[in-house]
Chains A and B, each alone.
Chain A
């Protein structure tokens, strides 16, 4: 594990909370993209003329869903890192 403190106490708690919310929200967004929610139709990586081919639309939805889940996974890594930093900061402040 990382033995040196890179982030201070405020930055580590901020990153922890951001990562936590990122995981929750991106997983839910991924699910919504996967079930092809019509509300997210403007957020697709697809050009206007491709809308005629419905398979392309489905593919775009699925691409975004996988991307969201991968990003959520990246945030799990960030959460682990910042949680470790937070614990290290707590320990360091006890040993004066």
Chain B
């Protein structure tokens, strides 16, 4: 028979007398079938500790199963969350006490506690001891808290003190690193125990470099001075263009396409004016330009404070870096806006319009559209009716007459005008590019290029497109309103010029607009076409043939006078330092002159130039296209948006105007200033890079990048910001 006696453990409290603890009679309800059950007299042992709240239920279950229900577990939640020393998280824990009997259970319980990572704390038996222990623990906790807070304060103070200097330290480290990187590029001359640096420096700055070396020697207190000696080298020097804050923006525009070859013509100074001008031709609205001017002027005036902000926003930095370009573009656009007479799609009558209406009221009422008579004398209307002239005889002094903005055929007129103007501007810029190439030829002492490239190019370009421009201007001057029906078509004229198709002057059935513009036109145009063809052939053949002849002559000379190697070396040294003028590099070594390759090069160059003349002239028509688009967009914005406010009658109209103005302004800024501005900027850039620079620019040089602490620190800061 097994006697089971289970004590009332629910009410068991830790404050009871210890004697009751140890005198309990307990019979284990062991399910061991092996041996006879014995009543064991023992006393309770207990362990107490703390465990994570999440682990408690599985802890309980494992204890119950492992100890076969022979232990008692009581637990309570700890209200305040504790900080886990390892991870630093706040965790909730429970305090528990396990009561058991016997050594085996004790070891089992201890192992399970270890497995569940419960922290066991010793708890003394008597309440007095427990009180003392509690007081001792509280004191220790307070002491540790004080230590922790003081340590935190100290750490904070140390960090604050270091934070004051950390930027300076970063800068110092960057500078030292940069210096050591530069020093690594030096060669070590083992015999003389000195470092040799091979570098480029501007020839004008010899004095400054020597002065700096002397100062460095004095400062470091070494006796041995640093020696600067110029050496002759075959390598191509880097290109250095001196710029200030104004010109550096334009120089970077040119360099973005290709850095100029060493000592060739730099297109950047010309770009300072031609770039804003071409932009303005495409932008052409005084109102928008004034908004742009305000923005650019603010950036330029507040330059110093904006620079000091060291913003990392790329878009802002792009706009701010180009502030002088934007300022010039705005000023030029105000001018072209006055020429186009476009002010938010309305025109301004500053000088008095040249047109007046003398229609009577019944004529006005009867006709939806009326044409103003532009003749000097009267017009002849339908039914041979005489219409007095509407034109005062002399035009509006500056730009387009303001009446065009409210006339129905404004676009027809302005298309013709802007297209012709674009062609004239384009031919002028291309001609200027060809002329710039002669400076290159003269500097690099290549007289052959002047005759073999410059003169044929000039004749070809001027013979065809220069002649076209002259015809355009002649047509503008010679045909007035009276004989406008007889004005010849320029495009047909150009086509017929190449087809050699001329009408018979004596034929009476031809209309007056098919007649020749001037008597000698046929012979002049025939001559020009022949000149153009001859110059194209000269461009193709002259240079390779002459170079071939020179090469053969040299070979003959070298064969007969074998004791004189001098001339060969001189010429080859010369060739090393001079870039070719044709845009395709020549092989530097004269001894390996390949006629075939030279001919192919020249062939490519000729085709590129001749076809390029035609296609680039047409490409300049984008000046017309973009200014038309800009004008139409601003008109659409006014008609669709702002007119909504104006067409409401009564005082409610003021509220409508108030409500409608802000969206109109936002859309103007967004579409017309930002989008159209960027678009016109891009097209102007393309016109400069391709159409202008292909006439003379080689651009395969390297930029001169001197060692500069400012640049290195800026780069380091930029990469720091990227990392963060």
Residues on A lying within 8 angstroms of B by beta carbon are 18, 21-22, 25-26, 37-45, 52, 60, 63-64, 66-68, 70-71, 74-75
On whether A64 and B653 interact (CB within 8 A), knowing A21-B665, A39-B347, the answer reads: yes
- Among B639, B642, B654, B656: residue with most chain A CB under 10 A: B654
| In the complex, B643 has a CB within 8 A of chain A | yes
Return the contact of A39 from the options B365, B402, B654, B656 (Cβ within 8 A): B402
Minimum CB–CB distance for B56 against chain A, Å: 46
Question: Contact between B647 and A43 (Cβ–Cβ < 8 Å)?
Answer: yes
Return the contact of B657 from the options A42, A44, A67 (Cβ within 8 A): A67
* Extra pairs beyond A38-B406, A45-B648, A71-B654 (7, CB < 8 Å): A21-B665, A26-B657, A40-B346, A43-B646, A45-B647, A68-B657, A71-B645
- Chain A neighbourhood of B647, CB < 8 A: 43-45
Minimum CB–CB distance for A48 against chain B, Å: 10
Minimum CB–CB distance for A77 against chain B, Å: 10
Give the docked Cα–Cα distance between A22 and B645 (Å): 14
Question: Contact between A45 and B646 (Cβ–Cβ < 8 Å)?
Answer: yes
Question: Contact between A43 and B405 (Cβ–Cβ < 8 Å)?
Answer: no
Give the docked Cα–Cα distance between A42 and B666 (Å): 23
Residues on B lying within 8 angstroms of A by beta carbon are 291, 346-347, 349, 361, 365, 402, 405-406, 639, 642-643, 645-651, 653-658, 661-662, 665-666
In the complex, 8 of the A-B residue pairs with CB atoms within 8 angstroms, ordered by the A residue number, are A22-B665, A39-B347, A42-B406, A45-B648, A52-B361, A63-B649, A66-B654, A67-B654
Question: Contact between A39 and B405 (Cβ–Cβ < 8 Å)?
Answer: yes
- Chain B neighbourhood of A38, CB < 8 A: 406
- Among A37, A39, A40: residue with most chain B CB under 10 A: A39
On whether A43 and B643 interact (CB within 8 A), knowing A66-B654, A74-B654, the answer reads: yes
Describe B's contact surface by its main secondary structure: helix
| For the complex of A and B, 9 pairs with smallest distance between CB atoms | A70-B654, A71-B657, A67-B653, A67-B654, A43-B646, A71-B658, A45-B649, A74-B658, A71-B654
Give the docked Cα–Cα distance between A6 and B325 (Å): 37
Give the docked Cα–Cα distance between A66 and B649 (Å): 11
Give the docked Cα–Cα distance between A70 and B654 (Å): 6
Question: Contact between A52 and B651 (Cβ–Cβ < 8 Å)?
Answer: no
Minimum CB–CB distance for B294 against chain A, Å: 9
- Chain B neighbourhood of A71, CB < 8 A: 645, 654-655, 657-658, 661
Residue of A nearest to B345 (CB): A39
Question: Contact between B406 and A41 (Cβ–Cβ < 8 Å)?
Answer: yes
Minimum CB–CB distance for A2 against chain B, Å: 20
- Chain B neighbourhood of A66, CB < 8 A: 651, 654
- Chain A neighbourhood of B643, CB < 8 A: 42-43
Minimum CB–CB distance for B429 against chain A, Å: 34
Return the contact of B365 from the options A25, A52, A67, A75 (Cβ within 8 A): A52
Give the docked Cα–Cα distance between A38 and B352 (Å): 12
Give the docked Cα–Cα distance between A75 and B657 (Å): 10
Minimum CB–CB distance for A76 against chain B, Å: 11
Minimum CB–CB distance for B16 against chain A, Å: 60
Question: Contact between A70 and B649 (Cβ–Cβ < 8 Å)?
Answer: no
Give the docked Cα–Cα distance between A74 and B655 (Å): 8
Return the contact of A63 from the options B361, B405, B642, B650 (Cβ within 8 A): B650
- Chain B neighbourhood of A41, CB < 8 A: 406
Give the docked Cα–Cα distance between A18 and B302 (Å): 20
Minimum CB–CB distance for A25 against chain B, Å: 8
Question: Contact between A22 and B649 (Cβ–Cβ < 8 Å)?
Answer: no
Return the contact of A22 from the options B346, B349, B656, B662 (Cβ within 8 A): B662
Residue of A nearest to B665 (CB): A18
- Among B361, B365, B662: residue with most chain A CB under 10 A: B662
- Chain B neighbourhood of A40, CB < 8 A: 346, 646
- Chain B neighbourhood of A37, CB < 8 A: 349
Residue of A nearest to B638 (CB): A43
- Chain B neighbourhood of A74, CB < 8 A: 654-655, 658
- Chain B neighbourhood of A39, CB < 8 A: 346-347, 349, 402, 405-406
- Chain A neighbourhood of B648, CB < 8 A: 45
Residue of B nearest to A70 (CB): B654
Give the docked Cα–Cα distance between A70 and B657 (Å): 9
- Chain B neighbourhood of A42, CB < 8 A: 406, 639, 643
- Chain A neighbourhood of B661, CB < 8 A: 22, 25-26, 71, 75
Residue of B nearest to A39 (CB): B346
Residue of A nearest to B365 (CB): A52
Residue of A nearest to B361 (CB): A52
Residue of A nearest to B647 (CB): A45
Minimum CB–CB distance for B562 against chain A, Å: 82
Residue of A nearest to B648 (CB): A45
Give the docked Cα–Cα distance between A44 and B349 (Å): 19
Minimum CB–CB distance for A12 against chain B, Å: 14
Return the contact of A70 from the options B361, B642, B651 (Cβ within 8 A): B651
Give the docked Cα–Cα distance between A37 and B353 (Å): 13
Minimum CB–CB distance for A42 against chain B, Å: 7
- Chain A neighbourhood of B347, CB < 8 A: 39
On whether A45 and B653 interact (CB within 8 A), knowing A39-B346, A52-B365, the answer reads: yes
Give the docked Cα–Cα distance between A67 and B647 (Å): 11
Residue of A nearest to B650 (CB): A63
- Chain B neighbourhood of A64, CB < 8 A: 646, 653
Give the docked Cα–Cα distance between A20 and B424 (Å): 41
Minimum CB–CB distance for A41 against chain B, Å: 7
Give the docked Cα–Cα distance between A28 and B688 (Å): 39
- Chain B neighbourhood of A68, CB < 8 A: 654, 657
- Chain A neighbourhood of B654, CB < 8 A: 66-68, 70-71, 74
- Chain A neighbourhood of B658, CB < 8 A: 22, 70-71, 74-75
Return the contact of A67 from the options B402, B639, B651, B666 (Cβ within 8 A): B651
Give the docked Cα–Cα distance between A41 and B653 (Å): 16
- Chain A neighbourhood of B361, CB < 8 A: 52
- Chain A neighbourhood of B662, CB < 8 A: 18, 22
Residue of B nearest to A15 (CB): B662
- Chain A neighbourhood of B649, CB < 8 A: 45, 60, 63
Minimum CB–CB distance for A35 against chain B, Å: 11
Give the docked Cα–Cα distance between A68 and B648 (Å): 12
- Chain A neighbourhood of B655, CB < 8 A: 71, 74
Minimum CB–CB distance for B370 against chain A, Å: 14
Residue of B nearest to A45 (CB): B649
Residue of B nearest to A43 (CB): B646
Minimum CB–CB distance for A86 against chain B, Å: 16
Give the docked Cα–Cα distance between A64 and B657 (Å): 9
Minimum CB–CB distance for A93 against chain B, Å: 14
Minimum CB–CB distance for A44 against chain B, Å: 7
Give the docked Cα–Cα distance between A11 and B653 (Å): 26
Minimum CB–CB distance for B631 against chain A, Å: 14
Give the docked Cα–Cα distance between A63 and B666 (Å): 26
Minimum CB–CB distance for B348 against chain A, Å: 8
Residue of B nearest to A44 (CB): B646
- Chain B neighbourhood of A43, CB < 8 A: 642-643, 646-647
Give the docked Cα–Cα distance between A71 and B648 (Å): 13
Residue of B nearest to A69 (CB): B654
